[in-house]
Amino acid sequence: MSQVNLVCDDADDACVWSAMKREAASYAVKEVALSSLLHATILDQDDLGSALVNHLAEKLASNDFSALKLRTVLAEAIESDPCLVPCIARDLQAVQQRDPACHSHLQCFLYFKGFLAIQTHRCAHALYKSGRDLVAYHLQSRSSELFGVDINPAAKVGCGIMLDHATGFVMGETARLGDDCSILQGVTLGGTGKSEEDRHPKIGDRVLIGANASVLGNIKIGDGAKIAAGSVVLKPVPENCTVAGVPAKPVGGSCGDPAAAMDQGL
């Protein structure tokens, strides 16, 4: 049986959900051992939001916080933010379009820990905004334990994010991440000093941040910027500028859309 790989022209959540259901139906026949998982996770769910709630609840459950209770909490998070499900769809499309190792929406949804970590944060952030900070911190802790990703629930994350490989990604409390960014493993969006005020980076749209780069302090990274792997960025970066080094310095001009191209060359 050939693989179903439907790519939507946009990130409409209904289109993405339809694509993923068709992929799941195909694999439920092809991989009989996974049939029960695919039915419970995708085919028996009503929509993308309910599928995510069920999948994350099973992933994040612990002896102290059962999957049944987590489903209720995660569903409340999604209901509280009408932008959350469209962002989920955009994230799925971002991975599908930018990562050559991603062969279907289903593969990303089930197994890519960067995607799962971002969605856990989206739910934690929605709960945090609703005044439910302790359960938000619980989700942050579980995401750190399971996925190796530590995002403070107060941090703001845009849509269309690809967190590639994900291990070791850290994002501080007052950090902001724009839309359509691509970030590789080991990246830190951190603060400097002990100030409790605004102390973390503000990342623009369509920014590419290479593996093990650190962006530190309340600085702005302009739209379309590229940060080379291993760099330490301590000063603002203009739009469409490439920076590299320790400390990072400009090494190039217009990048076009580096996050979409995933071109990490200088």
SS (H, E, C) 26-54: HHHHHCHHHHHHHHHHHHCCCCHHHHHHH
According to the model, what pLDDT value does residue 58 have?
96
C-alpha dihedral, 136 to 215 to 87 to 166, nearest 10°: -80
Give Cβ neighbours of residue 243 (< 8 Å, ≥ 6 apart).
225, 226, 227, 228, 231, 233, 237, 249, 250, 251
User: pTM value?
Assistant: 0.92
**ω into 258 cis (within 30 of 0):** no
Q: Retrieve residue 93's tokens.
A: 């499309």
Rounded-to-integer distance, Cα 214 and Cα 231, Å? 6
Is there a contact between 233 and 243 (Cβ–Cβ < 8 Å)?
Answer: yes
3-state secondary structure of 101: coil
Rounded-to-integer distance, Cα 115 and Cα 69, Å? 22
Q: For 212, which DSSP code?
A: T
Radius of gyration (C-alpha) of the chain in whole angstroms = 18
Per-residue model confidence as pLDDT tens digits over 176-219:
999 999 999 999 999 987 777 899 999 999 999 999 999 999 99
Residue in 121, 42, 133 with CA at minimum distance from that of residue 87:
121
Given the structure tokens 């330490």, which residue do they identify? 232
Host H or E run for residue 87: helix 84-98
Is there a contact between 208 and 182 (Cβ–Cβ < 8 Å)?
Answer: yes
Rounded-to-integer distance, Cα 69 and Cα 49, Å? 17
According to the model, what pLDDT value does residue 43 have?
97
User: Which parts of the chain have pLDDT scores under 50?
Assistant: 1-6
Domains of the chain: 1-149 (1.10.3130.10), 168-266 (2.160.10.10)
